[in-house]
Structure 1
Amino acid sequence: LILIYCLFKFLLFILTCFMHIFYLDLFYMYYLFYIPYLLYICIHIVFFKPFYIFIILLKIILLYIYFILNYFILFIFKLLYIIYFKQPFSLPLNCYYYKIYLYCLFFNSYDFIIIYFRFFYILFYTFYIYILFILKLFIFFIYFCCYYFIIFYYFIIYSSIIHFFIYIFFH
C-alpha cells in the first residue's frame, strides 16, 4: 500500500509538472482526474493523521475561491472589452496565450484610434495577470501557513509524548 501511495504521489507530481509546462488550468485537472484525487484524499486520511482532512478541505476551498475570483476578474475584463471595442469577447480563457493574441490584435489594424484603445486594453489585461498572480500568491501563502502551523503543532505534541515515554522507560 505504501508503494502504491508513493507511485500515485509521483504520478500526480508528473501530471502537475505536465500541466505547468503546457499551461493547463488546475480546475480541469481536478475535474478530469476527480476519482484519482478522491483516492489521493482517502490515502492521506488512511496513512496520515485525521488533521489532513482539514488540510485537504482548506486546499479545495482556497482553490475554488481562487477560480471564482479568477473568472470574476475575467468577466470584468470581458465587459471592458465589449465597452471599448463594441464586439464580442474572443480572447482565449487561458490567459497564458494573451501576449501572442494581443500582439496580433495590436498590429493587425492601421487605424490609430483603435490601436490607441487596444494599447490600453493590453495594459488592462496585463494588470489582470498581475492581479491573478498576487491572488494566487496570497491564497497559497494562507494555505502553506495553515499547513505548516498544523504540522508544527502535531510535531510538538508527538515529540512531547515521545519524550514522556523515553523518560518513563529509561529513568
Structure 2
Amino acid sequence: MAKQASLQSQTKSTIKDHKFSRNEFDSKNQNQFPVSQSQVEKVIDTKVVSVPTCVYLTLEELRCFEAVERQYEQWGVLFKNCIAIQPSNPAFPTHSGLVVLMAAPKNGYIEVTFLRPVHFVSAFVTSSQRLVLSAYARDQQLLTQTVLPGANLANSDSGGSPNTLLSVSAKEIHRITFSAFDGQFTIDDFSFCY
C-alpha cells in the first residue's frame, strides 16, 4: 500500500475574501467615504515596514595570527590594528567558537570602520583593564560611548565576568573604537545593524 501525502496551499487572505455587513460596525460617529479596491491596495502598498539588517561575524574562518583588515569588506566593515587568535591564556576565554579578535601590533586599540552607516554595534569583550567602546559620526564627532569599568579576566579577582557584552546605539555610526590604554583585550561575536 502506498503512502499518500497531502499538501495544503497557504494563501494570503485578501480584502476580497472578507465580507462585512454594515451592521457589524458602529457607524454612528464615523464618516462614510466610498473606497474602491484599488485605493485600499494603494494604501496598503505604501505602508512599508523597515526591518533592520544585522550582521554577526563568527570569526571561525580566520586563521590564528591572521591580520584582520578587509576579510569582512563584503559585509560592509573594515578593521584596523587587529589580529585573529585562539587564546591560550585561560584568563581570556572565548564566548563562542575558538577564535577571537585582539589588538595588534599596537596593544589596547582596535578601530572598525563601516562602509555605510550603522545604528547598533555589539561585541563580547574580555579585558585586562578599563575599556571604552566609542562610536563616531562621519565627521569624527563622538556620538556615544560605553565603558567596561575594569578588568574582567577569568579566574581572577577582577570585578566582572569575562565576555561582557558591550554595545553602542546611535544614528549614523561610521566608525567605532575599542580602547584599553595599552591593555590587552579580546573581542568575540562582533555584530552590527543597519
Q: TM-score range by the shorter chain?
A: under 0.3
Normalised by the size of structure 1, how large is the TM-score?
0.24
TM-score (norm 2): 0.22
